[in-house]
Structures are given as C-alpha cells and as structure tokens.
Structure 1
Amino acid sequence: MKKNIGNITAAMAVFMAVAGFGIGSRAGSFEVKAEKQEAKADDKKSTDSDAKEEETTKEQESTQEAVTEDEGIKAERRLPEGFSVSGLDDGVKTMTALSEALEKLQNKVDEKKFILSVNREQIESSFSDLGASIENKEYILSEAGKYTSGNMIERFAKSAGLIENPESITPDIEFNEEALNAFFKRANSKNPNAPVNATIKRVNGAFEITPEHDGYAVDKESTVDKLKEAILKSGEDTIEAQVTKQAATVKAEDLKDIKDVLGTFTTNYSSSTSERATNIAVGTEKMDGVLLMPGETISGYERMQPFTIKNGYKMAKAYQNGLVVDSVGGGACQIATTLYQAALRAEVKITERKNHSMIVGYVQPSGDAAIAGDYKDIKVTNNRSTPIYVEAVTSGRNVTFTIWGKEDRSGDRTIEFVSEVINETPKGKTYKDDPSKPVGYVRKESDGHKGRVSKLWKVVKENGVEVSRELVSSDTYRMADDIYIRGTRVDAPAPTAAPVENTEGGGETANDAPADNGPADNSVDVSQGPGFDPNINAGQ
C-alpha cells in the first residue's frame, strides 16, 4: 500500500513538474504558485499621479494574468512522460509538435526512394509511387489528446499509469492496393523465373490458347512487411524481395469455354477523311485481343493513349468547346462508341461512359460514348463468373467489336436498345465580323449542330413478349450555331480623273470615256470550312 502511495506521489510530482507547476518541500503537499499584484490607494490622498499609478498596476495585473493563462494552455497541451511515437524525435513534447512531426514524417515518406532486388534484378521506385500514407495519424493524435485534455486532476489520473506502463504507438503505413499490384507486376516482369499465365488470341477466325507454366514470383506479403520496415529508416534502402513458388493465375482450362458471341456491334466510317480513318484503324488495333478475367476492367483511354503523332495518330476532326476542331487522334470516340454498344449487348458492366457534348451521326441518339483526355472514358468491367475476350477489327471502313465468352443466358430471351428523343433545339447562325474582308464576303467557319435531349432504353423480351424496359441513360447534347465569317470593310470609290483639254479639237480622249471596272461581283463565297466532317454531322 505504501509502495503504491509512493508511486502515485512520485507520478504526481513528475506530472506537476512537466505541467509547469511548483511543488512544496513536504511529501504529499503541493503548492500551486501564482503571483498576483494588488494596488492599494489611499482614499484620502488620491491624486492624479496615484490614479495613473493605479491604472499602470491594473495593466500589469492583466498582463500577468494573460501570461499565466497562456502558460496554463501550453501546459495542458504538453505530452506526459511515458507516451511516445516510434520513428519520431524524442523532442516531441507537445500536441502541436506531434502534429507537425507526423506531417514531416509523411513528407519524408513521399520523398523516400528504394530499390527492390529480385533474383539479382533491381527495380527502382519510391514510396510515393506506391501511394504510401500514415493510416493511423488521426488515431495517434486522438490517443495523445487523452493525456492533454481535462483539468489538472483528470490529466494526472490519465497519465499516472504511464510510469509503469509506457505507451508507444508505431505509425501504420498503408499502400494503395492498385499501385502496389502494378509495382509487383512490373517487378515480376523482370523476373525470368516468374510464372507465366495462359494466353488466348483469335487468329484467322479461330482461338489459339497458349498454356501456362508455374514459377517463382515475389512473395507479396513478406515484401510488403519489409517495405513498411524500410520506410521509417533513414537513407535509401535496397530491399531483398523474397520469392516463392507460385502457380499461374490464368490457366488454359479457364479459357477453353471462350467460344460464344455475347455481344457484337459495327459502325461505319466510310465518309471519314483518310486521317480519321487512320486513327480509327490505329486505335482499334490497340483495343484488340484483351482478355478480361472476372472483375477486371478495360479502359478505352488507357489502351489507346497517348494520342500523339509518334503513337501512329493523325490530325482529324473532333469536338471541343462546341466546335469541330482539328485534333490528334480524332475518331477515337467512334471506337469507344462501338465498344459501348457491344458491351451493352453482352450485358457486361459499363463502369464508365459519358456522352458527347454534341450529337454524332454514326449511332442512334444516346447510344454514343466519348473519350476526352482522362475525364471522359469508356470502361467495361467483366462482371461474369467466367473470362471474356474483346475482339476489335476494322474492315472496309467498318469497325466491329465482339465480346466473346461462355453464353449462359436463355435462348428464349432477347434484348434490344431503343432511343427516345425527348426534344430538339434547331441550330442557328452566328456571324463573326472581319474588318479585313470587304462587305459581301461570307465564309462558313464551323458547322453547327442541333441540340437534343434523349434517352436510351433496354428492352428485354422472352418468347417475343416484352418483360422489362430499363432506362440505360438520359443525355443532353448542346446546340451549336453555324459560324460564319462576314466581311465589314467598306472600300472607298476610285477617284475620278480631271478632264484633259484637247488642244487639237479632234474628238474625245480615253479619259473622257467611263472607266471599265468590269461587272460587280455580287456572289457570296460560302465554303464548308475546316470544321466540316460529313461523318460527324451526317444528316444533322
């Protein structure tokens, strides 16, 4: 009992010292020191000087009280002995310092690089590439806050147990799972002994399957543990990855049932320019031959990008801010649209799809899918229990997507997709004045489009009888005017020459005859301009 009292007394003494309070000399006696000044004035001898002295004294009292209060706040935010966070300096003694130290630790994590060694192959990377973050930062601050909140007695009660049972928290480092998987995939690609998955390819109208073989791959769990250990150390680390014998994740047996057409769709681009046709051929080839295991996703943008000349694309027409403009890779949206339509018919999951800003002419209303940078994409996910295969081909100015797999839907069941136009807004004309061109000059700069609001419905029939009608999407397409350049320059008439006196009296000179300026040209120069693309605007 005496020992416990002694421990409590010692703990209280330590706490009071840390908190910034004075301690009396007798055991068990604590005296909180606080100085206050009092100003005394003699009522009978009050003078103007005394009043000033009293005012000064009050200001000093106010200042002293503010200092005392500030010190009290600082004391309350001070961390007790026995509480610590692994990986942080011992000098972290307050809540403010702890918060700043955790922020610095996250910055250190973001900047830290490492090397993973796999069978003598070295893969350089950084922890920021793995999406590393301190997952329990808020927990650490919350746990520390328990010892710095409440009054003095409450804080003492919470802190007393730390003397015999100190609390030390280790920052919990978590990685982004997608980034981590991509890193291990890259690491195993440099590993000559890694397992190889079975593959499938459609060649000359038939499927060819290459069998898998097992091998030795990076052990993910143990390597992640090593990465977490290295992240809190100083300097760049070389981590020796542990490899274990692993089986291939895709086996030939899994692929043998890919033989049924789940959905197919074709669009035509016969009216496109040669540049746009090239882009469709190049992009379609990049989309061909994709195997999607259950849960996997194909992204049109990721497969076709970068849209550069170096990657095989050409300048062609595309939509931008309500105009048809020249863009590298113009035509990629028709590829995205064709995949979208095939995926609808295969009834696989459409993870992402966005309509164009304006209408297109190669598919029914609300049946399109756009690609624009990385903010408009077509993504299709295999939500089936068996793998699917995406085939994409061009032939005779047609692009066709076919999704293959194992058919498990009833033969008596059919689906169709019906467009419904809710309303349309006719396009108008907008003129842009050009003072460098004469009055009467008109040229079409960009072809417009009517606005539209439409819906796409999925209609399911069994034995020819409709059993359900489901809304797929409701889309709005903006209206854009035809844009014309109109000349506004008014040319001054040519000055009339002064008559010349005929001294010989022999008839009129050429100057007397009216000038022959030719017939007035009242024709209007109207061209389709650089924005015209009949494939995009057909019939619109």
Structure 2
Amino acid sequence: MKQYEQTFMLTFKCFTFLLLILVISGCTPSTRTPEPNHLPPQALANEGGASGGVLPEGTKVDDLDLSGMVVPEASLKLEEWAKDKLEETRVLLYNNTEIPITLKDLGIDVDHQKTMEEVENTPGQTLPSVLKADSLKANQTLQEKLVKIARPAKDASYKIENDKFVINPAESGRTVVIDRLIRDIQKISLSDVPKRLDIPVVEVPASVTTESINTLAFDTVIGESTTKFSVSEGNRSANLTAAAKALDRKVIRPGETFSFNDTVGPREPETGYKEAYVIINGEYVKGTGGGVCQVSSTLYNAVLLSNLKIVERMPHAVAVSYVLPGQDATVNYPNIDFKFNNDTSNLLYLRSNVKSGVLTLQIWGKKLGKSVRIERQVEKIMNYKTEKRTDRKLPAGRIVQEQKGSKGVVVNTWRVIRDGNGNETKQFLGRDLYAPANRILRVGSRGLSET
C-alpha cells in the first residue's frame, strides 16, 4: 500500500511539471487583437469609415440597401439600380396634354462619384442620390417633344379694307422654361422624382400690342379739297389723272414726312406723262407733265384743312385758275417739291378721285374736335400788259389771242384753328407774290411788205 502511494505521488508530480512546461511555452488560447480585415462590420465603421471595407448595416441610397457590401460592389449595384430607374416612363403634363418621356431621354443621370463619396463619408445612413443633367441633350429633346406647347407670340397688325382700318389682334405666345424643369428635377433624389411632371410654361407677350395698333387707326375724313379741270384738254387730263392715281391709298405713318415728288415720281415721257401747257417765265408753254401742279395744289388745300404741318411749299410764279392765290403749291421734279409732316399719333390715309372734270383729294385720320378755315388778305393787285407778236402765218390784219392775261397779286394767307371750346389760333402761312401774266396777241402779217 505504501508503495502504491509513492507511485501515485511520483505520477502527479510529473503531470504537474508537464503542465507547467505547456503554460510557459504559450500553448494556451491566444488573447491578441485580430487583424483589421477580420473585424465585424460595426467594428470596422468605428475604426474610421468604410473605404475599402464592408458598408455597415443601414447604409442606403434612396430605397437601395447597400448594407454589408464592399464599396466597389455597392457602386456597381448603384449603377444597375439607377439605370432601371432612369428608364422608367414619366409623363410631362400641360393642361390636357400628356407627353411620355424617360429621365434618360431628358439627359438626367445619377452622379455616381458624388453619391458614393457621400456613402463612404457617412456610412450607416440613408442618403439621397445626387442627380446631374446634360443641358444640351435636355434642350434638344424637349424642343422636339414640346413643339406643340411652345408657340411664338403674334404681333398685332392692321389692314385697310374698303377704306376701313381693320385690326388683327395680338396673341401672346408660350415658352417652356426648360432650365427650370431640369433644375427642379436635380433638386430631388432619383426615387423622389414624380411619375407626372408639370411643364413650367410662361406667357410671352407680343412686341406689338393690339392697343398700340389701335392708336394708329383712322376713322374719318379730316381734310378734303376739290378742284375742276377741262376734260377737253386730253393730255393735261391724262397727266392729272396719273399723278392723282399715284397718291391714292398712300399711308403716312406718325412722324413721317410725305414728299409729293417721291410719291409721284419723275414726270417724263418714259413714265407715261404727256405734253401739256405749263408756266415758264410767266408764260404758258408746252411741257411734259402739265396739269400735275393742280394735283399738288389740291392736296395742299386738303393738308391745310387737316391741320397738318407744312414742311415745304412754293407758290406758282403767276396765279392759277383752279385755286385762289395763296392756296397753291407748284412742283417741278426733282427741284421743287411739296412736303408735309404727319404730326399726329395715328396713320394718315390718302384717297384721290378723278371723275368728269373734278379732282377730289381726301385725307383720312382721327377727328380731334378742331375745325380749320383759311383766311386771305389781298395786299396788292397788279394789272397785266398786252403784248403783240407778229405772225406771218396769219393773214394781214387778223388778230388771235394766244394767251389770256391775268393780274398779278400780293396776298397774305392764314390758317385759323378753332378748338372744341371755341378758342382760335391763327397761323401765318406766308406772303405770296404772283406776277402778272401778259395778254399775248398774235397779229397777222402775211402779204405785207417786210419794209
């Protein structure tokens, strides 16, 4: 028994010695910190971010869960998710118009770089996707898609029908504010882009309004003058008719100066004018365009009665028969002209009428509650002389009157304007001197001796 106890004690001591050796040699389980790549995701996040590692629980972009993914895998997942979302059909709305379109067609895309930077910098959170836009592509696409919605403004205009001023009203235009639409989409995340998008449209006013055209309208005759002529003088009548026709239906804009010569043009055979009597150096001789001065003088009187501004006017050298002295206006292309200015705020419209030896010129405009009359004062009258000219074509003793004599006169002329309250303003038009036109007699001398 004693021997057995000794054996047990020896065995126990050996076992204890061996155990001590194992402890000293490091065979017990290790308590060293594991390498970083063996850390759990939450521990990784606590060590300073997700770069190059696994994204922690709760990491999302919009409704896309990226938890437990490494960054490259999450970036690829984001691209696939965005591609599907961008190809979903949306609807652009304006009133009752619906236009199907995708965000991809609009040039909208997810900014992957910025979005993933946000994910890496703030892992474990739900972040909105960052959108970007290709403005050029968006504009090109929308210009095509929205062509029926956008429309240019239509300016007001006018036309003259049957001597009436007819207004074509202005119409406002519409333009789609493409930049605003794109900016509004970029402000939200991809998942929050609504399925139906209102199209931002603004009204574009017309440059020329209906009101501005209405101010130009004429509605009545403001000045009219009539003179008579002999239809038996065929060439003169033809010239007068041609010049009157050149004036007919002419429109004179506010502020515009009307030139008789510019409107009627050259009086030459090439322009259809014929030879008729004209006054040169106080004597009636044949010249191309005779009769045109009656048109300019008739127009002058209509202008006076319309209370318009006279810019240029010259009287004849001798008094004419178709208007009173002081109320004529001679013309001679291109040197002597008759001009007046439209100093009203509306259009002026000319009408001429030649019928049965009567010439009538009208000026249409707006009545301003004023009336006009012409006053004259004859300052001096000068008698004409009789001039006798020998004519060997006539038999001796025969006398033929070649030209009637007309007295000379000096006359002062005024225009008197009376307003709606009865107040009168007197405008001095000028002091005109008309030389006498000699009476010319042709005396026959055929058969008489020249001595």
TM-score, structure 2 normalization:
0.51
CA distance in 1, matches of 2:208, 2:429: 38
Q: How many corresponding residue pairs?
A: 262
Q: How does 1:271-290 map to 2 (within 5 A)?
A: 273-290=233-250
Q: Look up the match of 1:477.
A: 434
Q: Deviations over 1:136-193 (max 9, x none)?
A: xxxxxxxxxxxxxxxxxxxxxxxxxxxxxxxxxxxxxxxxxxxxxxxxxxxxxxxxxx
Counterparts in 2 of 1:290 and 1:475: CA distance versus 1, 3 Å: same
1:336 matches 2:336: no
Deviation at 1:285, TM superposition (A): 0.9
| Aligned mate of 2:415, from 441, 458, 462 | 458
Q: Look up the match of 1:266.
A: 226
The one-letter amino acid of 2:376's match is S
The one-letter amino acid of 1:375's match is N
The one-letter amino acid of 2:220's match is D
| Unmatched runs of 5 consecutive residues or more in structure 1 | 1-194, 214-245, 493-540
The one-letter amino acid of 1:321's match is N
CA distance in 2, matches of 1:197, 1:334: 39
Q: Look up the match of 1:396.
A: 356
Counterparts in 2 of 1:206 and 1:454: CA distance versus 1, 3 Å: same
Q: Look up the match of 1:379.
A: 339
The root-mean-square deviation of aligned C-alpha atoms, in Å, is 3.3
CA distance in 1, matches of 2:429, 2:245: 28
Check conservation: 2:231, 2:356, Cα contact below 8 A.
Answer: no
TM-score, structure 1 normalization:
0.44
Q: How does 1:181-220 map to 2 (within 5 A)?
A: 198=157, 200-203=159-162, 205-207=163-165
- Local SS of the residue matching 1:368: coil
Q: Deviations over 1:65-122 (max 9, x none)?
A: xxxxxxxxxxxxxxxxxxxxxxxxxxxxxxxxxxxxxxxxxxxxxxxxxxxxxxxxxx
Counterparts in 2 of 1:389 and 1:351: CA distance versus 1, 3 Å: same
CA distance in 1, matches of 2:160, 2:302: 19
Counterparts in 2 of 1:315 and 1:397: CA distance versus 1, 3 Å: same
The one-letter amino acid of 1:364's match is L
Q: Deviations over 1:358-411 (max 9, x none)?
A: 11111122111111132221111111222222222223322222222233x23x
1:257 matches 2:214: no
Counterparts in 2 of 1:210 and 1:328: CA distance versus 1, 3 Å: farther
Check conservation: 1:388, 1:403, Cα contact below 8 A.
Answer: yes
Q: Look up the match of 1:423.
A: 380
Q: Which has the larger radius of gyration?
A: 2
Check conservation: 1:419, 1:454, Cα contact below 8 A.
Answer: yes
Check conservation: 2:169, 2:209, Cα contact below 8 A.
Answer: no
The one-letter amino acid of 2:246's match is K
- Local SS of the residue matching 1:347: coil
| Aligned mate of 2:400, from 443, 447, 464 | 443
Check conservation: 1:351, 1:380, Cα contact below 8 A.
Answer: yes
CA distance in 2, matches of 1:469, 1:418: 9
Counterparts in 2 of 1:429 and 1:202: CA distance versus 1, 3 Å: farther
Q: Look up the match of 1:326.
A: 286
Check conservation: 1:426, 1:450, Cα contact below 8 A.
Answer: yes
- Local SS of the residue matching 2:246: helix
Deviation at 1:262, TM superposition (A): 2.0
CA distance in 1, matches of 2:239, 2:209: 34
- Local SS of the residue matching 2:268: coil
Q: Higher strand fraction: Structure 1 or Structure 2?
A: 2
Check conservation: 2:310, 2:339, Cα contact below 8 A.
Answer: yes
Q: Deviations over 1:407-450 (max 9, x none)?
A: 3x23xx43210222111111111122356766424333333321
The one-letter amino acid of 2:217's match is D
Q: Look up the match of 1:528.
A: none
Q: Deviations over 1:276-295 (max 9, x none)?
A: 11111111110112222122
| Unmatched runs of 5 consecutive residues or more in structure 2 | 1-153, 172-205
1:369 matches 2:329: yes
CA distance in 2, matches of 1:210, 1:327: 47
